[in-house]
Amino acid sequence: MSSTRRIGAEDSESRAALLDAAERLILTDGYAAVTSRKVAAEAGLKPQLVHYYFRTMDELFVELFRRRAEDGLVRQAQVLESPRPLRALWEFSNQPTGSAFAMEFAALANHRKDIRAEIGRFAEALRAQQLEIMTEVFERYAVDVTSYPAVTLLVLMTSVSRLLVMEERLGMSTGHAETRALVERLIDQFEPS
């Protein structure tokens, strides 16, 4: 049963400021720090405005994730259109902010099914976009896809990069340089420097 109370406009500057504030809080203090009071204070707005624009905090989280995900799809499409898409995807996947955001939302998804479902939908769309472009790239490079399936290389590159960034946030670095060098040698087989 949905609420009939009035909800704020999606294109409002205050709504955007609340989303920006929630994103800053997630990246600096983690998802658990994102409360309606803290978001409002970070945005310089009154706390009741959070629930004027978002019926629940889950709705705010889902909208924040969608906003970041849509931007990520656009940026990834640009990255994958580069002259060296494998290298560009590897570098794109190694961005600390994106991995930190993903890590916080993965933790949040353990407790919130709506957010877990949204992440799943986005992840499949992201992978489909990657696979479509990489399939074309592998054909252009004449890669033996029985030995190197495009989807396997995609999973390897994106998951390894995310894991390395997450471990670095925890203060771990053992084996990172060697792992990055191995992935880069693999990329160099297809896209020589």
Q: Which CATH superfamily is domain 1-55 in?
A: Homeodomain-like (1.10.10.60)
Q: What is the pLDDT along the chain (193 residues), one digit of tens a residue?
A: 455 555 777 778 999 999 999 999 999 999 999 999 999 999 999 999 999 999 999 999 999 999 998 898 898 889 888 899 989 989 988 888 888 888 899 899 999 988 899 889 988 988 898 898 889 888 888 888 888 898 998 898 888 988 998 898 889 999 999 999 999 998 998 887 6
The residue ranges of every structural domain in the chain are 1-55, 58-190
Q: Alpha carbon 104 to chain centroid distance?
A: 10
Q: Say what the pTM is.
A: 0.79
Neighbour tally for 57: CB within 10 Å? 17
DSSP state letters, 145-167: TTTS-HHHHHHHHHHHHHHHHHH
